[in-house]
Structure 1
Amino acid sequence: MYTYNNNYYTATMQPVTERPALSGDVQADVCIIGAGLAGLSTAWELVSRGKSVVLLDAGRVAWGASGRNGGFVLQGWSEGVSAIEQRCGKPTAAALFKLSLEGVDIVRDTIADQQLPGCAITSGKMSVVRYEDGDNLQRLRDKMAADFDFHLEYLDRQAVRAKLKTERYFQGLRDTHGFHFHPLNYCLGLAGLIERGGGRIHEHSPMVRVDSRDGRHRVFTDQASVDCGNVVYCCGGYGGPEFGKLRRAFLPIATYAVLTEHLGARLADAVATTDAVGDNRRASDYYRIVDGDRLLWGGRITTHNLQDEKRLGQLLTDDILDVYPQLRGIKIDKAWSGLMGYARHKMPHIGPLGKGLWTCTSFGGHGMNTAPIGGRVIAEAICGETDRYRLFDAYGLQWNGGPLGPAAAQTVYAGLKMMDKFQETRSQRRAMHKN
């Protein structure tokens, strides 16, 4: 049975009661499959527009990646701006970037307007590079300002190392629009809003099939069903074969996180900022301070989900000490993993699958802003308000490689890690020669 695992967020979550499984045969305007951030966001947008909604989940609300991620809410998509421009052209890339900013604002505004408790918003994110690359970062800063009217602060090596006391980082860009927060409490807050607005949420209710006939759909669980006009698939990295062609279009990719013990005054010897931090590696380290003096540190990606907490703790401790050797001897209080849905093109699947069938999933580790805007775009389409989902037309259900997909993805990742190591070693050697 899918349920909450032992991690920082479940240890600090708002009080919650278990919701009953779906029983009997019910009707709704929309049935949403998956009660992670995408499903919750879609449901809230629809309930706010007066639609009747039934939201089903195989486990608990936000028990998967939505409730156990790094908690970064930032601009952009998993795919980079330049790659989106090359595929879609500048006008569409600009519109998609604007959507991503709207996603950040949705989360921030919902917390403020609805006074959601326990979300613990902290502004700011530093993106740092692990090799000398100041010229390229400044060009990116200038491009973002000129093409997207989005302004980033450039940090030279001295500015970066004043905040992050390590020789691993060189330059960086600071995003003041983004923030970090408690994602599980946000999702639990959304669930409460949905139910107070008349929506129904049923946990422990896995979808087993969807039958479509005469413009209507019936979503079946083992012992119940929902008759509806629209179905929205929000399965995330945990979706199984019951999702059909959608499941064949993404790969479940695992990522890992740990929570350190309380570090007290030692923390300031390493990290002297409340900004979230992420580096430029293909599977980056990402971290932030929680509870005043603890590091919540994530990183690494694999196609197999390693769940041995002791092993995870050691692996990520090694990553922490590689950056901050002055923290040697730290202890890990919690370690956990999560599965993300990744499409090969690294963009989400947002749009129609057929008449009255929609998808809002595959956010590729960048879902805390893109799932909320995806939910809004799908709600607008269902309600006949906009066709903004057409911005994703270039990103369809590309085959994930089938049984060979995970092995191919792991091989690509290994090659990218080697490229990262080469660039970092070369930069370090150049720095030594200069000194």
Structure 2
Amino acid sequence: MSTQANTGHVASYYAATANSSPGRPALVGDIECEVCVVGAGFTGISSALHLAEQGHRVVVLETARVGFGASGRNGGQIVNSYSRDMDVIEARYGADTARALGDMAFEGNRIIRDRIAGYAIACDLKEGNLFAACNHKQLAGLREHKVLWERYGNQQLELLEGEAYKREIGSERYVGALVDHSGGHLHPLNLVLGEAAAFESLGGTIHEQTPVLEVQHGASVTLRTPQGSVRAQRVVMAGNAYLQGVLPELESKSMPCGTQIITTEPLPDALRRELIPNDMAVEDCNYLLDYYRFTADGRLLYGGGVNYGGQDPSDIAAVIRPKMLKTFPQLAEVRIDFAWSGNFLMTLNRLPQFGRLNDNVYYVQGYSGHGVTCSHLAGKLIAEVMRGESERFGAFAGLPHLPFPGGRLLRVPLSALGAWYYATRDRLGW
């Protein structure tokens, strides 16, 4: 089992198979730029690339390496929409807000594919993902989900009821599935590395190993780092779960959460065809969901569970392997080659937080587990609002950013209690 990586990233299958990428020097000295982006994950690099394409002079500051956080460690699934879907948004915030967000719900997917094609990014893109129902209540939810998404423009959905789901998944665990033929899966670290290279090809600058220690607000913004500073006309804070301590005013309104992934040894072709015949990505419909797919070299990548507060279990494989075997007991003798974890940022209402701290400091964060597509949309909206087109960014910014009950002290145990309740409902099929 992999325990370390030589790329500067957390040890993972992704780090072990990452495309070649240069190390970027830490910032030394004082510089000026038009826009400074803090964080070199999907949100930061997407924002930087969109802004560079508009002709802005952009500098990106990254505490570790490009893609070090969730962007380089996630399940690699291209899943449309948000962690809360449009029916929930409409019920809570009204039809106008639901329509505005619904019109953008499938855009992040298209942006990713445009980036891959436009900049020839090698990231193992494969087509299709599906949602698997573990009980009949969840299957009824998938029927409603299909109608909802079709109402907002996704006409590439297919409902598989009863035994029909076995066309896509060789497991006895489910009662049906919803296939999204517009979805897909990929190597997320290689995607963000390719986007970073595209940004640099347009004249952008990335400084790795450069944490932001202090943000000084004013007509221009100064960001202090260990060996220098950046003075920028505008700033985008895009560190998500890895930005603790820099924006304390936002910390009570979000919470880092950890999720864990394992990856098997490469599996024989016949076994892969038995498990996931058409090589799609899968996630189930449980509150604490499992998700899995095959990598380009034929390994089963399997993730699941949430640790509130972002603490890692002492033995990741011991936590995730039983979940994998519940789905695919035929893998009992298969070796686990990689095991890792990473943090995503969860919000109380499970919707992303977009906004401004003042006239020239923007923030985007809190995708609550749906960050691959929404982060790419966020970058486009940042570029729009900086050229004076604020309507679409404002649709997200208008959502309430609610503090967790109990503040920082109680947000973890209270969230864990709520998760236990919903997980119990999943197990009982309520």
Q: TM-score range by the shorter chain?
A: over 0.9
After superposing the two structures, state which structure 1 stretch, 92-101 or 6-15, moved more: 92-101
Aligned-residue sequence identity (percent) comes to: 31
Q: What is the aligned counterpart of 1:414 among 409, 417, 420?
A: 420
2:230 & 2:242 partners in 1: Cα distance? 21
Give matches, 1:339-358, under 5 Å: 339-358=343-362
Q: Does 1:76 align with 2:81?
A: yes
Once the two structures are TM-superposed, the CA of residue 252 in structure 1 deviates from its matched residue by 0.2
Equivalent position of 2:264 in the other structure: 260
Count of residues paired in the alignment = 420
Give matches, 1:349-368, under 5 Å: 349-368=353-372
Q: Secondary structure at the match of 2:124?
A: coil
1:106-136 Cα offsets, whole Å, 9 max, x none, are: 110110011112x111010111100024444
Give matches, 1:15-414, under 5 Å: 15-117=20-122, 119-133=123-137, 134-213=139-218, 215-264=219-268, 265-307=270-312, 311-400=315-404, 401-414=407-420
1:397 & 1:22 partners in 2: Cα distance? 33
The 8 Å contact of residues 270 and 326 in structure 1, kept in 2 or not, is answered as: no
The 8 Å contact of residues 97 and 395 in structure 2, kept in 1 or not, is answered as: yes
1:97 & 1:147 partners in 2: Cα distance? 6
Q: Go from structure 1 to structure 2 and tell me whether the alpha carbon gap of 1:242 and 1:137 turns closer, same or farther (over 3 Å shift).
A: closer
Q: Go from structure 1 to structure 2 and tell me whether the alpha carbon gap of 1:372 and 1:179 turns closer, same or farther (over 3 Å shift).
A: same
After superposing the two structures, state which structure 1 stretch, 323-332 or 299-308, moved more: 299-308
Once the two structures are TM-superposed, the CA of residue 315 in structure 1 deviates from its matched residue by 1.7
Once the two structures are TM-superposed, the CA of residue 319 in structure 1 deviates from its matched residue by 0.4
After superposing the two structures, state which structure 1 stretch, 377-386 or 216-225, moved more: 377-386
Instruction: Give the TM-score normalised by structure 2.
Output: 0.94
2:152 & 2:189 partners in 1: Cα distance? 34
Q: Which runs of 5+ in 1 are unaligned?
A: 427-435
Give the letter aligned to residue 226 of structure 1. Answer: V
Q: Secondary structure at the match of 2:403?
A: coil
Q: Go from structure 1 to structure 2 and tell me whether the alpha carbon gap of 1:60 and 1:15 turns closer, same or farther (over 3 Å shift).
A: same
Give the letter aligned to residue 415 of structure 1. Answer: Y
The 8 Å contact of residues 67 and 184 in structure 1, kept in 2 or not, is answered as: yes
Give the letter aligned to residue 88 of structure 2. Answer: A
Equivalent position of 1:432 in the other structure: none
Equivalent position of 1:430 in the other structure: none
Once the two structures are TM-superposed, the CA of residue 292 in structure 1 deviates from its matched residue by 4.6
Q: Secondary structure at the match of 2:349?
A: coil
Equivalent position of 1:433 in the other structure: none
Q: Secondary structure at the match of 1:241?
A: coil
Q: Secondary structure at the match of 2:249?
A: coil
Q: Go from structure 1 to structure 2 and tell me whether the alpha carbon gap of 1:177 and 1:149 turns closer, same or farther (over 3 Å shift).
A: closer
1:84 & 1:351 partners in 2: Cα distance? 18
Q: Go from structure 1 to structure 2 and tell me whether the alpha carbon gap of 1:267 and 1:151 turns closer, same or farther (over 3 Å shift).
A: closer
Instruction: Give the TM-score normalised by structure 1.
Output: 0.92
Equivalent position of 2:10 in the other structure: 5
Give the letter aligned to residue 116 of structure 1. Answer: I
Equivalent position of 1:429 in the other structure: none
Q: CA RMSD in A?
A: 1.7
Once the two structures are TM-superposed, the CA of residue 159 in structure 1 deviates from its matched residue by 1.4
1:319 & 1:270 partners in 2: Cα distance? 15
1:149 & 1:163 partners in 2: Cα distance? 20
The 8 Å contact of residues 380 and 386 in structure 1, kept in 2 or not, is answered as: yes
Give the letter aligned to residue 367 of structure 1. Answer: G
1:140 & 1:341 partners in 2: Cα distance? 24
Once the two structures are TM-superposed, the CA of residue 178 in structure 1 deviates from its matched residue by 1.1
1:412 & 1:137 partners in 2: Cα distance? 23
Once the two structures are TM-superposed, the CA of residue 100 in structure 1 deviates from its matched residue by 2.6
Give the letter aligned to residue 166 of structure 1. Answer: S
1:183 & 1:97 partners in 2: Cα distance? 25
Q: Secondary structure at the match of 2:145?
A: helix
